[in-house]
Structure 1
Amino acid sequence: MRSRRVIQLALRSAAVGYVVCLILLPLSALGREALVAGPGRFVEDVTQPQALAALTLTLETALITTVIHAVLGTISAVVLVRYEFPGKWFLNALVDLPFAIPTLVAGLMIAAIYGPTGVLGAWLQDRGLAILYEKPGIVLAMLFVTMPFTIRALQPVLIELEREPEEAAFTLGASPWTTFWTVTVPSVLPGLLTGVFLTFVRALGEFGAIVIVAGNIPMKTQVASVYVYGEIESYNPRGATSVSIAILAVSFLALVLLERLTRPPGERMPALLRPRGRAPMTVAS
Structure 2
Amino acid sequence: MATARSFTVLPGFGLSLGYTLVYLSVIVLIPISAVFIYTAQLSFSEFWSVVTAPRVMASYKLSFGASLIAAAINAVFGLLLAWALVRYSFTGKKIVDALIDLPFALPTAVAGIALTALYAPNGWLGQYIEGVLGIKVAFAPLGVLVALVFIGLPFVVRTVQPILEDMESEFEEAAASLGASRWQTFRFVVLPILLPALLTGFALAFARAVGEYGSVIFIAGNIPMVSEITPLMIITKLEQYDYTGATAIAVVMLLVSFVLLLVINGLQAWTAKRTGRDR
TM-score by length of 1: 0.89
2:259 to 249, 253, 259: 253
Given the alignment of the two structures, is residue 281 of structure 1 paired with residue 276 of structure 2, yes or no? yes
| 1:175-231 deviation per Cα after TM superposition (whole angstroms, max 9, x unaligned) | 324422332111111101100111111111110011110011110000101111111
Q: Which residue of 1 is the match for residue 215 of structure 2?
A: 209
Question: Counterpart of 1:71?
Answer: 76
Alignment length, in residue pairs?
Answer: 272
Query: Helix, strand or coil for the counterpart of 1:219?
Result: coil
SS of the residue 2:130 aligns to: helix
Note the residue ranges of structure 1 that are not aligned, 5 or more in a row.
264-268, 275-279
Q: CA deviation at 1:234?
A: 1.8
1:98 paired residue number: 103
Kindly indicate whether residue 16 of structure 2 is the aligned counterpart of residue 11 of structure 1.
yes
Q: Tell me if the contact between 2:156 and 2:201 (Cα under 8 Å) persists in the aligned partners.
A: yes
- Give the 4+ runs in structure 1 shifted more than 4 A: 3-6
The corresponding residue for 2:63 is 58
Evaluate the alpha carbon distance shift between residue 231 and residue 207 of structure 1 in structure 2; reply closer, same or farther with a 3 A threshold: same
Q: Aligned letter for 2:277?
A: T
SS of alignment partner, residue 117 of structure 1: coil
Query: Tell me, what secondary structure is at the counterpart of 1:45?
Result: helix
- Structure 1 window deviating more from structure 2 (108-117 vs 15-24): it is 108-117
User: Does residue 88 in structure 1 map to residue 93 in structure 2?
Assistant: yes
1:242 aligns with 2:237: no
Report the alpha carbon displacement of residue 141 of structure 1 after superposing the two structures with TM. Answer: 0.5
After TM superposition, the structure 1 = structure 2 runs for residues 174-213 of structure 1, keeping only pairs within 5 Å, are 174-213=180-219
Contact 1:201 1:254 in 2 (8 A): no
Query: 2:63·2:210 contact (CA, 8 Å) conserved in 1?
Result: yes
2:151 corresponds in structure 1 to 145
Residue 161 (structure 2) aligns with: 155
Say if 2:234 and 2:249, in contact at 8 Å, map to a contact too: yes
Q: Which whole-Å CA distance do the structure 2 matches of 1:270 and 1:143 have between them?
A: 25
Letter in 2 for 1:133: F
2:56 maps to a residue whose letter is: A
Letter in 1 for 2:243: P
Q: Decide whether the 8 Å contact of 2:196 with 2:271 is kept in 1.
A: no
User: How far apart are the structure 2 equivalents of 1:32 and 1:154?
Assistant: 39
Q: Distance in 1 between matches of 2:220 and 2:278?
A: 39
Identity of aligned residues (%): 37
Residue 122 (structure 1) aligns with = 127
